[in-house]
Structure 1
Amino acid sequence: MVALNSYVPPTMSIDSSNPIYLHPLGHPGMILVSKFFDGTRCGAWEKAMMIVLSARNKLGFINNTLTMPNYEQHMAVWNRCNDMVISRILNTLSRDISDSILYSETAKILWNELNSRYGQENGAKFYQL
């Protein structure tokens, strides 16, 4: 007989081609791009980040092609992967910029906030900040 407090749910297996799969060797502090974003040259930094996120099958977290699942089994895994993407983006930003967007709940919200502040089409907003 198994005691209720010792029950361990079966582990969920996720195929490595699934966007919510996290490779065991990846970690939040991993530096993914050599372009450190300090508020200038947004286009170059953005392109480098998009290449890396695409190569790691995580582009869906910022371009709205991968949404949060509505079933609980994958919710925790999705949140963990989203947090990893947020962490990796934050690690490429200057401290002032990362501090100002640290509390974004999803990678998509964080990405949109960066775009609205520093995107090429909003150059005037950059100088206001």
Structure 2
Amino acid sequence: MAGDKPTGSGKETNGETIDVNSPYYIHPYDYPEQKQVNDVLNDQNYNEWKQEMTNFLLAKNKMGLVDGTIEKPGAGSPMSLAWVRADAMIKKWLTTAMEQEIRTSVRYAKTSSEIWRDLEERFEKEGSP
């Protein structure tokens, strides 16, 4: 019956097809050390870094994982592993774009949204008048 299987372009992962428009989709050209921003995050450039990183994540259709609007599916969900893979890639993108000291401080965050919130709490207060 029409609609039972995806008809658009997709990527098969463990028997599941992930539509290319899904936030879980990782393009074959995406890789962990991919350049996302012009300058790595340091103590002085958070606002500029955040704007560039936000644009990068929006273009990759991943901002929902970072801002927490797309929550991790339950363990029994067929999309749980796809979410974990996408979030792991985002975590690497975020940490690759940071100075070593900042990267070390977020090393043990479990999700990309934890990293994002931590950075907002740390740096947005400093940028306020």
Q: 1:29 aligns with which of 29, 33, 40?
A: 33
Task: Give the secondary-structure state (helix, strand or coil) at the position aligned to 1:14.
Answer: strand
Structure (1/2) with the larger helix percentage: 1
Which 4+ stretches in 1 moved above 6 angstroms? none
Task: Give the secondary-structure state (helix, strand or coil) at the position aligned to 2:39.
Answer: coil
1:51-105 per-residue CA deviation (whole Å, 9 max, x = no partner) reads 0000000000121211111233111110010010000000100000001101100
**CA RMSD, aligned part only?**
1.6
| Identical columns (%) | 24
Q: Which ranges in structure 2 are unaligned for 5 or more consecutive residues?
A: 1-12
1:17-70 per-residue CA deviation (whole Å, 9 max, x = no partner) reads 000011111111111111211111211000000000000000001212111112
Q: Which ranges in structure 1 are unaligned for 5 or more consecutive residues?
A: 1-8, 125-129
Alpha-carbon separation, structure 1, partners of 2:105 and 2:126 = 18
Once the two structures are TM-superposed, the CA of residue 10 in structure 1 deviates from its matched residue by: 5.4
Alpha-carbon separation, structure 2, partners of 1:10 and 1:24 = 16
Structure (1/2) with the larger strand percentage: 2
Which structure: larger Rg? 1
Alpha-carbon separation, structure 2, partners of 1:39 and 1:30 = 22
Is residue 108 of structure 1 aligned with residue 116 of structure 2?
no
Name the structure 1 match of 2:20: 16
The letter of the residue matching 1:107 is S
**Matched residue count:** 114
Once the two structures are TM-superposed, the CA of residue 107 in structure 1 deviates from its matched residue by: 0.6
